[in-house]
Amino acid sequence: MTRSPPRHLQGRHICVALMSLLSGAASAGVKLPAGVVVNLELQQTLTSAYTVTDAPVYFRVKDDVRIDDHVLIRSGTLVTGRMVNAQGQQRMAQNGSFSYDVHFVPAVDGQNIRVIAGATRAGRDRSDTLATGVILWGVFGLLTHGANAWIERGAILEAQVLSDRMIDVDKPAAQSPQVIDAWHATSKGHHFDFTSAGVIEVNLEKSRNLDTVHFDLQPDPATPLPGAEPLRWQLVALDGAPLPQPIAALRVDAKGVVFDSWALLQYCHDGDNVVGFRAILPDNTSVGAQDTIPVHFAVKR
């Protein structure tokens, strides 16, 4: 025969049970309902001329997503999408086009939230160009090229949450290790292979070979260089903010440290762009440098 606990202990057991239930409810998290819209801000310029199929497309969350004063998805969170298809401009005035999508957005507890988001772009309508070309120039009018599709950085993409998810708002966010440049270098200038102009103009509707850019990066004399081996430079920041992914230099030649031009220009905006470089030394210290690149994106709006 099972005996009941003494009366003075029954109340204590009830309190413990209630506290356990409340604790379990708190740890269950906060529900992120299906249908919530997350605004994503494009971090790079996309164009069917230079952005290839399957290339990553980077966004950052524009605004906090809040439920009952709890932040479930934090502003500034990096989100990676994909270029689904990209087709450059063609002859016979055929325009370029591309489409991209996003499938997941990270929540504050680190879990990936399934979303649906995507967009398709095509070059501006130039059907009249084809007709005019054929009339005026005969068969040579068929050689007229269309316009590339493009979209500039800063554009907003709406991503919709597909299903309810419970978010642990008390879980601490993972912190990226901060790298501090212990040593400094100076950029004594840059040179783009496709132009010698002071302002780097890129026509997003037309295709051309942008080739490479050379930076004359000179470490300060006091920097403890690791022997004769060249520093492994990376492009890591724009206007003081980290790039979605560092861009490794292609090589070092007689003109300096060489990077792919579009790999850099896709993150730039109209005006002066302060680009940041970093090289990690063998002792895990780093050397940093900066340069300013004036850029103008030429498009017909």
Residue 10 within any structural domain of the chain: no
Handedness of CA 259, 262, 268, 273 (dihedral sign): positive
| Tens of pLDDT, residue by residue, the chain (301 residues) | 555 555 554 555 555 455 544 444 445 689 999 999 999 999 999 999 898 999 999 999 999 999 999 999 999 999 999 999 888 654 445 678 899 999 999 999 999 999 999 999 887 744 433 333 334 444 444 444 578 889 999 999 999 999 999 999 998 877 777 777 889 999 999 999 999 999 999 999 888 899 999 999 999 988 877 776 789 999 999 999 999 999 999 999 988 999 999 999 999 999 999 999 999 988 888 999 999 999 999 877 6
b/e map of 68-100 (b: 16 or more CB within 10 Å)?
eebbbbbeebebbbbbeebbbbeeebbbbbbbb
d(CA 160, CA 32): 11
Centroid of chain to Cα 153: 9
Within 121-167, residue ranges assigned H as helices are: 127-137
Residue 91 within any structural domain of the chain: yes
End position of a domain, from candidates 167, 193, 219: 167
End position of a domain, from candidates 109, 140, 167: 167
204-216 pLDDT, tens digit per residue, is 988 889 999 999 9
User: What integer pLDDT is reported at residue 10 of this predicted model?
Assistant: 52
Q: Are residues 75 and 126 in the same domain?
A: yes
For the full predicted model, state whether its pTM sits above 0.95. Answer: no
Residue appearing with tokens 């996003």: 102
β-partners of residue 296 are 201
End position of a domain, from candidates 167, 195, 220: 167
Q: Is 186 left (phi over 0), alpha (psi -120 to 50) or beta?
A: beta
Q: Count CB-CB contacts under 10 A for residue 160.
A: 13
Rg over alpha carbons for the chain, rounded to the nearest Å, is 27
β-partners of residue 212 are 260
Q: Are residues 36 and 161 in the same domain?
A: yes
Q: Are residues 193 and 239 in the same domain?
A: yes
- 61, 73 in Cβ contact below 8 A? yes
β-partners of residue 32 are 165
Within 4-51, residue ranges assigned H as helices are: 7-27
Residue 210 within any structural domain of the chain: yes
Count the alpha carbons within 13 Å of 94 in the hemisphere toward its beta carbon.
Answer: 8
Q: Which residues contact 57 (CB under 8 A, 6 or more apart)?
A: 42, 44, 46, 51, 80, 81, 82, 83, 100, 102
Q: Are residues 208 and 152 in the same domain?
A: no
- 186, 146 in Cβ contact below 8 A? no
Q: Are residues 47 and 141 in the same domain?
A: yes
- We report the CATH number of the domain holding residue 228 as 2.60.40
Amino acid at position 70, single letter: H
Q: Are residues 249 and 132 in the same domain?
A: no
For residue 262, give both structure tokens.
């579009």
d(CA 71, CA 263): 33
Q: Over the chain, what is the mean pLDDT?
A: 84
Q: Are residues 45 and 105 in the same domain?
A: yes
Residue 226 within any structural domain of the chain: yes
Q: Which residues contact 156 (CB under 8 A, 6 or more apart)?
A: 39, 40, 41, 42, 62
User: What integer pLDDT is reported at residue 14 of this predicted model?
Assistant: 52
Residue 80 within any structural domain of the chain: yes
For residue 41, give both structure tokens.
């801000």
For the CA atoms of 32, 35, 41, 43, the dihedral, rounded to the nearest 10 degrees, stands at 80
Instruction: Please state the domain count of the chain.
Output: 2
Q: Are residues 197 and 145 in the same domain?
A: no
d(CA 46, CA 57): 8
Domain of residue 266, residue span: 183-298
Within 58-198, residue ranges assigned H as helices are: 127-137
Q: Which residues contact 171 (CB under 8 A, 6 or more apart)?
A: 108, 109, 110
Q: Are residues 194 and 134 in the same domain?
A: no
- 43, 79 in Cβ contact below 8 A? no
Q: Are residues 36 and 93 in the same domain?
A: yes
Q: Are residues 236 and 152 in the same domain?
A: no
Q: Are residues 41 and 82 in the same domain?
A: yes
- We report the CATH number of the domain holding residue 102 as 2.40.128.260
